[in-house]
Structures are given as C-alpha cells and as structure tokens.
Structure 1
Amino acid sequence: MPSNILWDREVEASVERLTQAAENEYYNPYKTFDWPESIAPDAKWLSTELLSVHGTDMAAELTEDQTRELGKWESVNFYSLNVHGIRELILEVVNRIHMPGYEVPTRFFHHFVGEENEHMWFFAEFCLRYGGRIFPDLTMAFPRGAKMSPAFENFIVFSRILIFEQIVDHFNSRMAADDSLPETIRAINRIHHQDESRHIAFGCQLVRAFYDRLTAIGDEKELATAAEYVQGYISLTLQQLYSVEAYRSAGIPDPLGFRARVMAQPHRAQVHQQIAGRTYAFYRRIGVLA
C-alpha cells in the first residue's frame, strides 16, 4: 500500500480504541498460568461438541478410552495449529511495521505481535508439557507471484490471519466456558479469546479497507481470485481440524481412512457452517463472497 493512500476514519478510530484496550488489559503470561505436573488421566482435553467425530457414525466405533485419547490428541493438534499459524502471521505483520503506508495500523501492530508471540509460547508450552510434542506444520504457504499487486497481497495476508483467528476463536470461546474441562485448559482458551476479540476486530477493519482498495482498482481477475482464495482457505483451515496424527495417536486403526469417513459425514458440513459462520457472514457483508 503506497504511503499516499489514506486510511479511513473507521480504521483510525479502531486502532485508537484497540490500542488503548491492549494497554489497559495487559498481563504477564509467564506468571498468569498455573501449570500442574500433569492432566488427570480421566480428564477431558476438548469439549465434547468440538471433537471431530461428534455427531458422526464413527463416534460409536470408538471405545471410551479411544474417545478420551482422541480428545487429548485433537487438543494437541488444535494448539499446534495455533503455534504454526501464529508464527507465520507474526512474520507477515513484522514485515509491515513502520513501512510506508502502514503508519496508522503500526501502533496496534506492536501490541498484536507482542500478544501473538505470548500466545504462541503458552500454546507450545501446553503441547510440550502435556503432549510431549508439537504436531508438524501442514499449513499452506502464503501465495507469492510476480504479478500479484500489493493490494491483492495485503488482502490475502490479512484475510488468512482473520480467517484463522475467527475459526480458532470458535473453539476458544466454547472451551473457556466449559466447566467439564480442567482449569488450565479453560484458562489458556479464556485468555486467548480475550486477546483475539481485539485482534479480530482489528483484522475485520484491515481486510475491509484492503478489499475496498482492491475494488477501487477494479481488476476483475484479482477480485475473482480473491473470492476463490478466501473460500479455499476457509475450507483448508477446517480440514486441518481432522488430523491423521491425532487419530493415529488415539489408537484408531487406519487413521487416514478414518479421517476420510469422518469428513464425508453429512453432519460435518453443518458443523463447518457453525464454526466458520461468522467468517462467511463477514466476507459476504463486505462483498467478497456471494
């Protein structure tokens, strides 16, 4: 975005409000959480309705122990996705701090990067303490190309961040409120939800502004590609919730085949609409999706 492009008042007001909120609500994550030696063997790690098999025929195939193990490893998968997704988005935002054209959002970028770094730490800490590992990164790389306009690249970058944050927040808000989960799990989801509410509000403003810029340029091919990419990235993010590694770790035979069967269940399409409903509504509202 060239430096002579002005941000609208809505973006400026949002940056001011969210920066003030970030400063007022600051906390030290390294002293915030109580990390017990272990999670109780019979404890739930994931809310029942958030299990990938919830509402499917496959759920009846699992023993009680397998279901509990699946919750554990799908929890590790979820936090691992956060670790990898956060690392990638931090790099993209850092590349824009104090660069020409980003004078207005840079003020909040500093809070965003600091908070996301702390989120990455406590999600990784949970995985390593209680799961013994972080699942590998299977995310799709950011698109790069010589013909990509700056407006299109910015729209895609901040759309990826926003889509990821909104889908993650669906899980955070529900686990934070689930009193059947251990307090450590509720706490990390509660804190993340608190911070992400600011990041999502910020992301919506940036994505809207970048899409307005893209629309003003009027390149029909880029507009069509933007819509296609948004739809594809939402689908890809949802697919990552079905982890072959989680199924394998839970002792489920033929984890790859099991994943395919779970994803093919009609009920899961309805669940996807619930998880990504806010995201679809936003992109329809600003005109990206029909």
Structure 2
Amino acid sequence: MRPPNTPPARAVSTPAADDTPAADDTEFRTLLDRLSDKATADYYNPFTTFDWPASIPTDELWMSPELLSCHGTELMDELSPAQLRTLSRWESVNFYSLNVHGIRELLIEVTRRVHTPGFELPSEFFHHFIGEENDHMWFFATFCLKYAGKIYPDRSVKLPEAPRDPDIENFLVFARILIFEQIVDHYNVQMAADRRLHPTVRHINRLHHQDESRHIAFGCRLVRLLWERLLDRGPDEAARHELRGHLGGYLGRYLTTSIESLYNPAVYRDAGLPDGFALRKRLLVHPARQAAHAKVLHKTTGFLQRIGVFDARH
C-alpha cells in the first residue's frame, strides 16, 4: 500500500498574471485554512500521548475479525478461536507495517514538493501533513517493535514508471497517497470503535483516523484540482479519452496491488498456517474476499468515477 517513488515534479498551480486568485484557488485556500486550523486545534504530542503497556495479551484479538483476510471464507470456520486470535495478531502487525512503509514513501513525495514553484498554496498545510505523518510512522513502528519484535519487510510490487510528465507525476503521486489513506482509514474506523480490541489498539486507530480525516479531505480536493488541470490541457476529447484510459488503468493496478499487500504469506506462516503462498492465492480470488475488497475501496472508486478518472467498468 505504498506510493511508488517518482521524480520531483513541478507546478500544482500558477497564479494569474495579475496575481488575482482563480476561483478554484480561492476555494482551495479556504479549505486549507480550515484544515490547518483544525490540525492546530487537534495537535497532540505522540511521545507523551501513549501510555504503552508492557505487553498486549496474546489471547485477545488484535484486529477486528471482520477485517481479517480470511473473513467470509471457509477458512474462517475451520480455524479455532485461538488460531483466529493468533492470525489477528499477525495481520494487525502486517497492517501497521504497511503503514510504516507507505508513510515513509508519501513523506518523501510530499517533502519533494513543499515550497516548490506551483505548490505555494498547499505548502503551509504540507507542514502539518508531514509532521503528523511522521508521528504516525513512529507510533505504528513502535507498536510493531514493542509487541511483535519486528516490522514486516516491504514486499510491494513495483508498478511500471509513469510517463515523465511533471503534471501527470503530480496527479499520480497525490492520487496514490489518497488511495493509500482511504484504504487505511477503512480499517482505522472499524478498529477504533471495536470494544473487543485492546485499548492501545483502539487508541492508535482512533488517533490515526482523526488526522487522516483531514488528509483525505485535502487529498480529494487536490486530486480533483490536478485532474481538472490535466483535462484542460488536452487539445480535444480524443486526447482526454486516451488520458483517462492510461491513468485510470495505472491507478486500477495500484488499487489491486494495494489490496493484495494485505495478504502476506509471512503472516500466515507466523500464524502457523501451512503453505502461505497457496493460501494467499486462494483467498485473493474467493468471492467473499472480492466483495470485501469492493467494500474497502468503494469510497475511492466512487470518487475516481465522479471526477472522471474511472469509468463505470471500475
């Protein structure tokens, strides 16, 4: 679930010749001011916020059963309650590990763009974003290392490089960040509210959702703005159609690899389940899991359809 590296890129927006903000910039500025004020009001120090217990009981759930990669399949019924609790522990650690890797990559991409030409408007909010994401990476990594003794390695599939077009690179970077955040937030919301989980697990997910709700609001507006400017650049409808097909296909593949990263053979091995690679393959194509994927992705695919990146086939 990590945004792949791309080279530094140029402008998100360029002020009009008379320095009068465009209508979309005025709306964008208002949103950025509101989100920055909210980030300041919600600020917390992660190093003092968490009261890390010495351990989290291994005979408790560490992830909501409904979020497990086998939920809805025959395996869910075959595993004993103890086995499900063990699987929930390692799937929880995998989820937080994915966050560590994903956050590292999005920090690289956003830092490349802060205070660069064309990113004048969002740069102030970028500082809030960067600080909060750094905090998130720290507390996810701390959880993994303190309670599992490891962070699962990054095994994400590398997608083919996007075209070396700065405007396209900007769009794809922030579209990938938005996809990453919306997938993660689906899990955060459910685990934050799940009273079956340890208070520390709920706390981490609640705090992450609190910050990500702002990041997602920002990401939706920025991605829409970047997409509209890409379309405005197209000389005719045929060129725009080609652009939709190319970038929609790229992001469709990114959605697929993001979901597949939640199925980790190393998790199944640590949970004591045999032949993790075969199990992963079987689970990924199971009809119940396909339905679960659609549920996880419905906000993202709905958004990309509304702004015209995806068509009805996605």
Query: Normalized against structure 1, the TM-score is what?
Result: 0.96
1:265 aligns with 2:275: no
Give the conservation status (yes or no) of the 8 Å contact 1:142–1:157. no
Task: Measure how far apart 1:263 and its partner are.
Answer: 1.4
Cα distance per residue 1:65-121 (max 9 Å; x no partner)? 221111000000000000000000000000001000000000100000000000000
Gaps of 5+ in 1: none
* Partner residue in 1 for 2:215: 199
Task: Measure how far apart 1:142 and its partner are.
Answer: 7.0
1:183 aligns with 2:199: yes
**Alignment of structure 1 residues 101-180 onto 2, 5 Å:** 101-141=118-158, 144=161, 147-180=163-196
**Alignment of structure 1 residues 230-269 onto 2, 5 Å:** 230-269=251-290
Distance 1:71 1:163 in 2: 24
SS at match of 1:95: helix
Give the conservation status (yes or no) of the 8 Å contact 1:45–1:182. yes
Question: What is the total number of aligned residue pairs between the two structures?
Answer: 289
Task: Measure how far apart 1:144 and its partner are.
Answer: 4.0
Give the conservation status (yes or no) of the 8 Å contact 2:141–2:151. yes
Give the conservation status (yes or no) of the 8 Å contact 1:152–1:222. no
Give the conservation status (yes or no) of the 8 Å contact 1:15–1:105. yes
SS at match of 1:288: coil
1:214 aligns with 2:230: yes
1:39 aligns with 2:56: yes
1:68 aligns with 2:85: yes
SS at match of 1:258: helix
Cα distance per residue 1:173-225 (max 9 Å; x no partner)? 00000001000000000000000000000000110011001111114443321
Distance 1:159 1:143 in 2: 16
- Aligned CA RMSD, in angstroms, stands at 1.4
Give the conservation status (yes or no) of the 8 Å contact 2:58–2:85. no
Distance 1:204 1:125, change over 3 A: same
Amino acid at match of 1:82: N
* Partner residue in 2 for 1:99: 116
Distance 2:177 2:158 in 1: 13
Task: Measure how far apart 1:143 and its partner are.
Answer: 5.5
Distance 1:141 1:273 in 2: 23
Task: Measure how far apart 1:266 and its partner are.
Answer: 0.5
Query: Normalized against structure 2, the TM-score is what?
Result: 0.89
> Identity of paired residues, percent?
52
Distance 1:254 1:144, change over 3 A: closer
Distance 2:14 2:218 in 1: 21
Distance 1:143 1:22, change over 3 A: farther
Amino acid at match of 2:127: H
Cα distance per residue 1:116-158 (max 9 Å; x no partner)? 000000000000000110000123457646x521111011000
* Partner residue in 1 for 2:67: 50
Give the conservation status (yes or no) of the 8 Å contact 2:94–2:264. yes
* Partner residue in 1 for 2:5: none
Distance 1:201 1:160 in 2: 14
Q: Which of 278, 283, 286 does residue 304 from structure 2 map onto? A: 283
Amino acid at match of 2:146: R
Gaps of 5+ in 2: 1-9, 16-21
Amino acid at match of 2:226: F
Task: Measure how far apart 1:61 and its partner are.
Answer: 2.7
Distance 1:193 1:258 in 2: 31
